[in-house]
Amino acid sequence: MEHMDVPSIRPRRLRRTPALRRLVRETSLEPGQLLLPLFVREGATEPLPISSMPGVVQHTRESLRKAAAEAASAGLGGVVLFGVPERKDAFGSGALDPDGILNVAIADVKDEVGDALTVVSDLCLDEFTDHGHCGVLDDAGQVDNDATLAVYGDMARAHVAAGVDMVGPSGMMDGQVRVIRSALDEAGASDVAILAYSAKYASAFYGPFREAVDSSLQGDRRTYQQDGANAVEGVREALLDVAEGADIVMVKPALAYLDVIRRVRDAVDVPVAAYNISGEYAMVEAAAAQGWIDREPAILETLTSIRRAGADIVLTYWALEATRLLG
């Protein structure tokens, strides 16, 4: 063949060696950009495995300290703490009790790691209520937005008293960021930041989390969490939270909402976080356990896709593992 029609423009040139591929890689994934969610169970005497989240446990107070120390030496950005109380009631009283599990856990972890990690608290009532909703209910059994706001303010004060660095309001009540910002400021905690769960969707992928926090939700969360069909609304929620004083806004879940992450990233001028949630974790772990996908590359590909979509910060149960894989 005399004049073979060969391409002169060849994208493959930049894929030839590992060094070339490293040189042109657009998206980074670093331990400092990752937050590790951790569960701690009141009264537990040994760590309890969560069957739907292989590799994740409900910690004892002692094992939580060890996990936090490990996260600090791995150079993670921080940890997000979830408390599992022994007793739940309609009002979620355990959330406000200074001796309640989440409050003591915040103090334990701060005592263990100091400023080596950013310690974030999940600020929500669903772990503490016997009905499993993120707020208190009115006489008709509906989640009462404004009555819940007052409780969130008290919860923020309790987390501050325990020494938290950042609170993560996740209940999707209207006005929650504004109320929590005032509560923090009035408590003299103007340095404590707010990581707002802003665009949070009513998702089937929260399933394993319910086991993680022993929650038996009555009904569903569709009157306060968003409809998965809505992306514009996710941007609106994020903009509202920024206006109310959020320091970081979050999109959750991550994988089924990568477009929302991108839209929010383009719309706000604060850092954007995304939560790679329990069901997304479980999907990969379950398929890998069957030998259907290659687990480690799947983990890195998942986390990289969330960063590529526009998340500056990723909440992931694989934070430690990913750090090892990157190392």
Contacts with ligand PBG, residue ranges (CB under 6 A): 122, 124, 126-127, 134, 170, 206, 209, 221, 277-278
**Alpha-carbon gap, residue 162 to 99, rounded angstroms:** 10
| C-beta closer to ligand PBG: residue 73 or 142 | 142
Alpha helices in the chain (DSSP H): 18-23, 61-73, 101-113, 145-162, 176-186, 207-212, 232-244, 258-267, 278-289, 295-309, 319-326
**Alpha-carbon gap, residue 40 to 57, rounded angstroms:** 8
**Alpha-carbon gap, residue 222 to 226, rounded angstroms:** 7
Q: Is 110 a catalytic residue?
A: no
**Which pairing describes strands 48-49 and 57-59: parallel, antiparallel, or unpaired?**
antiparallel
Rounded to the nearest whole angstrom, what is the least distance from the CB of residue 172 to ligand PBG in the complex?
Answer: 8
Q: Is 252 a catalytic residue?
A: yes
Question: Position of tokens 């100091």?
Answer: 114
| C-beta closer to ligand PBG: residue 173 or 242 | 173
Token pair, residue 167, equals 């609170």
Amino acid at 143: V
> Among 274, 275, 276, 278, which Cα is nearest to 212's?
278
Rounded to the nearest whole angstrom, what is the least distance from the CB of residue 133 to ligand PBG in the complex?
Answer: 10
Rounded to the nearest whole angstrom, what is the least distance from the CB of residue 42 to ligand PBG in the complex?
Answer: 16
User: 237: annotated binding-site residue?
Assistant: yes
DSSP 33: G
| C-beta closer to ligand PBG: residue 162 or 275 | 275
Structural contact between residues 300 and 307, judged by C-beta atoms closer than 8 angstroms: no
| C-beta closer to ligand PBG: residue 122 or 321 | 122
User: 257: annotated binding-site residue?
Assistant: no
**Alpha-carbon gap, residue 102 to 215, rounded angstroms:** 15
Angle between helix 61-73 and 319-326 (nearest 10): 30
CB atoms near residue 215 (< 10 Å): 20
Rounded to the nearest whole angstrom, what is the least distance from the CB of residue 294 to ligand PBG in the complex?
Answer: 23
Angle between helix 176-186 and 232-244 (nearest 10): 20
> Among 298, 237, 229, which Cα is nearest to 272's?
237
Rounded to the nearest whole angstrom, what is the least distance from the CB of residue 317 to ligand PBG in the complex?
Answer: 7
Rounded to the nearest whole angstrom, what is the least distance from the CB of residue 131 to ligand PBG in the complex?
Answer: 13
> Among 79, 80, 97, which Cα is nearest to 88's?
97
Token pair, residue 163, equals 């020494």
Q: Which residues are annotated as a binding site for 5-aminolevulinate?
A: 210, 221, 278, 317
Q: Could you list the active site residues? A: 200, 252
Residue list, annotated binding site for Mg(2+): 237
Q: Which residues are annotated as a binding site?
A: 210, 221, 237, 278, 317
